Chains A and B, each alone.
Chain A
């Protein structure tokens, strides 16, 4: 403290000898720069820093949404509730003679309800798994949140993979020279231009569980199904349906970015390679992919971070049947009115997305380019 004061005093009386004092002109320019930047800083502080700080603060409280009940500081309780988990073994269900109950040759296990602890906090089942012939259950206090994180990550990885592959195919096709290219490029963009909530509704109608829906109608005509497939109610079909909707919607965005990247590769490199006898596959992997890497990195970062924040399609189509991370946070806030938990969940989402961004930047070395 003393030291700092001393330094400050020194700086104000005589400039530090090691550094040359900035000229008057530089000082004036610096001042102008700060002056010109200040509106930006003010706006940033108001629209980004303040809300962010507010979320950080409320994540340590038990604040209730749209209510005047008193808010208390609860420390890390919200975070503890989000992360607390336990693994317990499920004993086989025994009949009166002490023999395990079999159904269709399968050992039946006790319900998790009786196995997971209730005190001091309720644990719920996230999923069950078998290991070395024993059955275990993973329980968590916020089972829905753990499931939402897992679902969102799976959703992101699978959807972004398909979007990249399909986007690449579309971009390579549209990069070629053919009549009607402009029209095709415009047509490609249509799904991206549709508002997500609207497209989610369109898909909801197409995927209706009766033959009023397109997929069930076509499926039943082709003899693939009875026309009663419940895409949004059946837990195993929920995520694939969401992924399908997202791939349809955002592949154009991927294709557009990659198309722009392809346009920056000079055509003479390809010609040179062709003269040297490189086939199309070799040209793709040796020229296109390396030169496209910066573009691909940007596209992947955009899409991954966007996917991790997915909200609208989950909210519109699945409501509170199943959550993405963001729709969980929203539901926690406006339906359960738990502002504190919702803020804590939002902070966790923030950290998860941040980690993904860091991994990408490291892996693809975007920063050094």
Chain B
């Protein structure tokens, strides 16, 4: 009798403790991200009946998302347990996250791209488990290229400018006054740093700060690159591109109102969805190169990190590792064309069938240009801000490219105290 009572008590206490575990995941909502994360949370809950996983929707623009996170960190809030963090944040935010190596990440870490694991490791602590990686791609309309007699996607920016203009003129004459040649991300935010880094790097203008810690942004190639981009605004790109983020560009593209788009891989599966006006009529290629340069794609991507202020870090870490596991990354790759960070998935037949370019553009993902977040840590956010503000002022016509790059150089020097110099050829 006594024993059965005791057992009952244990059962009650145990289940009560279990039923109380709620894990909140702060996740992105760009494209299908939110639906995919919710579905993953559902699967986790089915396997772990004692845990409730809530998914918290966060702002689309990464700068705004960072603001939300920082407010939670300042308050040491246990409200959010798992954070989706950008590839450039581990250095700045490491102090707010637990070391995932202490929660069982050691066994899975070497399945992921070593470069990303290294990026997420701060002072030997793994602060985030890689979730998906990103690289800038050129989306192009296969039907329109054929219609205007082009054999394939442009390989230089000059070609892109010319092709975009021709197609835009043709489509406008054919009765679509809302048609534009090229859409991209020109708002004053982190996304512009990504786009502009691609222009600059593909012109042979370096990567803002070299890995050796030399500020290289103020050079003729970089100035030419930014100048070219500014010339697109109002000609082949809408004036409003200076307030475009990823989703604004994708909406225009997916409505069939653009010939080319620069975006991340997530736009691929959405572009082929049933409600897309351009399903089956587009493909992706590496971004074009500048004169004397080679194509460059900015490395992006998101990690899952567990808050140090979480009430249940063990369960939270388990959720994070579950969501970044082989099976889950495979679902996200097939359904959402989100690049896996697990190398073996790039050889998985089902993944390659759903997203063929994961195979054909594998080199683009491997060789993507990293933003200078490591060399400028913990001030990367300020450096990036100085850069995109300067580029944005050229796009809106308030500064010349030469002045803007000089301003950016001086700003970055004030922030980091690093030396300035010319970019080294790679």
Please name all residues of chain B whose beta carbon is closer than 8 Å to the beta carbon of A210 when the two chains form the complex.
178, 238, 240, 252, 257
Inter-chain contact B189/A122, CB cutoff 8 Å: no
Please name all residues of chain A whose beta carbon is closer than 8 Å to the beta carbon of B389 when the two chains form the complex.
320
Measured CB to CB, the closest approach of chain A to B88, in angstroms, equals 14
How far is B177's CA from A234's CA once the two chains are assembled, in angstroms?
A: 21
Inter-chain contact A230/B398, CB cutoff 8 Å: no
Which stretch (B30-38, B58-66, B220-228, B310-318) binds chain A?
A: B58-66
B410, CB-defined interface residue at 8 Å: yes
Q: Across the two chains, which residue of chain A brings its CB closest to B180?
A: A210
Measured CB to CB, the closest approach of chain B to A25, in angstroms, equals 49
Contact of B243 among A112, A220, A230 (CB under 8 A): A230
How far is B95's CA from A233's CA once the two chains are assembled, in angstroms?
A: 37
Which stretch (B130-138, B201-209, B283-291, B400-408) binds chain A?
A: B400-408
How far is B393's CA from A112's CA once the two chains are assembled, in angstroms?
A: 14
Inter-chain contact A230/B239, CB cutoff 8 Å: yes
Residues of chain B from 394 to 417 with CB closer than 8 A to chain A in the complex: 396, 398, 400, 402-403, 406-407, 410-411, 414
Please name all residues of chain B whose beta carbon is closer than 8 Å to the beta carbon of A321 when the two chains form the complex.
187-188, 243, 392
A228, CB-defined interface residue at 8 Å: yes
Residues of chain A from 113 to 134 with CB closer than 8 A to chain B in the complex: 113, 118, 122, 124
Inter-chain contact A111/B400, CB cutoff 8 Å: yes
Residues of chain A from 189 to 210 with CB closer than 8 A to chain B in the complex: 208-210
How far is B61's CA from A227's CA once the two chains are assembled, in angstroms?
A: 26
- Given the known interface contacts A209-B240, A211-B177, A230-B239, the answer about A319 and B95 at a Cβ–Cβ threshold of 8 Å is no
Inter-chain contact B73/A66, CB cutoff 8 Å: yes
Contact of A118 among B61, B240, B381, B410 (CB under 8 A): B410
How far is B397's CA from A272's CA once the two chains are assembled, in angstroms?
A: 62
Q: Which of A112, A118, A227, A321 has the most CB of B within 10 A?
A: A321
A365, CB-defined interface residue at 8 Å: no
* Number of B residues with CB within 8 Å of any CB on chain A: 39
How far is B423's CA from A206's CA once the two chains are assembled, in angstroms?
A: 44
How far is B398's CA from A321's CA once the two chains are assembled, in angstroms?
A: 12
A177, CB-defined interface residue at 8 Å: no
Inter-chain contact B398/A235, CB cutoff 8 Å: yes
Q: Across the two chains, which residue of chain A brings its CB closest to B388?
A: A320
Inter-chain contact A319/B239, CB cutoff 8 Å: no
Contact of A335 among B240, B242, B385, B411 (CB under 8 A): B385
B273, CB-defined interface residue at 8 Å: no
How far is B406's CA from A232's CA once the two chains are assembled, in angstroms?
A: 26
A14, CB-defined interface residue at 8 Å: no
Q: Which of B178, B187, B234, B252 has the most CB of A within 10 A?
A: B178
Inter-chain contact B239/A209, CB cutoff 8 Å: yes
A368, CB-defined interface residue at 8 Å: no
The prevalent SS among residues of B at the interface is: helix
Measured CB to CB, the closest approach of chain B to A128, in angstroms, equals 11
Please name all residues of chain B whose beta carbon is closer than 8 Å to the beta carbon of A209 when the two chains form the complex.
238-240, 243
Inter-chain contact B96/A66, CB cutoff 8 Å: yes
- Given the known interface contacts A210-B178, A235-B398, A336-B382, the answer about A122 and B410 at a Cβ–Cβ threshold of 8 Å is yes
Measured CB to CB, the closest approach of chain B to A330, in angstroms, equals 8
B74, CB-defined interface residue at 8 Å: yes
Please name all residues of chain A whose beta carbon is closer than 8 Å to the beta carbon of B382 when the two chains form the complex.
336
Contact string against A for B residues 48-76, beta-carbon threshold 8 Å, 1 for contact and 0 otherwise: 00000000000001011011001101100
How far is B74's CA from A66's CA once the two chains are assembled, in angstroms?
A: 4
Please name all residues of chain A whose beta carbon is closer than 8 Å to the beta carbon of B242 when the two chains form the complex.
230, 233
Measured CB to CB, the closest approach of chain B to A275, in angstroms, equals 60
How far is B257's CA from A230's CA once the two chains are assembled, in angstroms?
A: 17
Q: Across the two chains, which residue of chain A brings its CB closest to B395?
A: A233
A5, CB-defined interface residue at 8 Å: no
Inter-chain contact B239/A68, CB cutoff 8 Å: no
How far is B70's CA from A65's CA once the two chains are assembled, in angstroms?
A: 8
Inter-chain contact A228/B240, CB cutoff 8 Å: yes
A67, CB-defined interface residue at 8 Å: yes
Inter-chain contact A335/B63, CB cutoff 8 Å: yes
How far is B385's CA from A227's CA once the two chains are assembled, in angstroms?
A: 31
Q: Which of A68, A122, A229 has the most CB of B within 10 A?
A: A122
A334, CB-defined interface residue at 8 Å: yes
Measured CB to CB, the closest approach of chain A to B48, in angstroms, equals 31
How far is B257's CA from A227's CA once the two chains are assembled, in angstroms?
A: 14
Please name all residues of chain A whose beta carbon is closer than 8 Å to the beta carbon of B74 when the two chains form the complex.
65-66
Contact string against B for A residues 301-339, beta-carbon threshold 8 Å, 1 for contact and 0 otherwise: 000000000000000000111000000000000111100
- Given the known interface contacts A235-B398, A337-B70, the answer about A320 and B63 at a Cβ–Cβ threshold of 8 Å is yes
Inter-chain contact B71/A208, CB cutoff 8 Å: no
Inter-chain contact A335/B187, CB cutoff 8 Å: no
Residues of chain A from 327 to 369 with CB closer than 8 A to chain B in the complex: 334-337
Contact string against B for A residues 159-184, beta-carbon threshold 8 Å, 1 for contact and 0 otherwise: 00000000000000000000000000
Please name all residues of chain B whose beta carbon is closer than 8 Å to the beta carbon of A68 when the two chains form the complex.
95
How far is B411's CA from A124's CA once the two chains are assembled, in angstroms?
A: 10
Inter-chain contact A334/B188, CB cutoff 8 Å: no
How far is B234's CA from A229's CA once the two chains are assembled, in angstroms?
A: 10
Measured CB to CB, the closest approach of chain A to B317, in angstroms, equals 22
Please name all residues of chain A whose beta carbon is closer than 8 Å to the beta carbon of B64 when the two chains form the complex.
319
Measured CB to CB, the closest approach of chain A to B166, in angstroms, equals 20
Contact of A228 among B239, B243, B257, B402 (CB under 8 A): B239
Measured CB to CB, the closest approach of chain B to A227, in angstroms, equals 7
Pairs A-B, 8 closest by C-beta atoms: A209-B240, A66-B74, A334-B67, A230-B239, A66-B73, A233-B242, A66-B70, A230-B240
Given A68-B95, A336-B381, 12 additional A-B pairs, CB 8 A? A65-B74, A67-B95, A111-B403, A113-B407, A228-B238, A233-B240, A319-B61, A319-B187, A320-B63, A321-B243, A334-B66, A336-B385
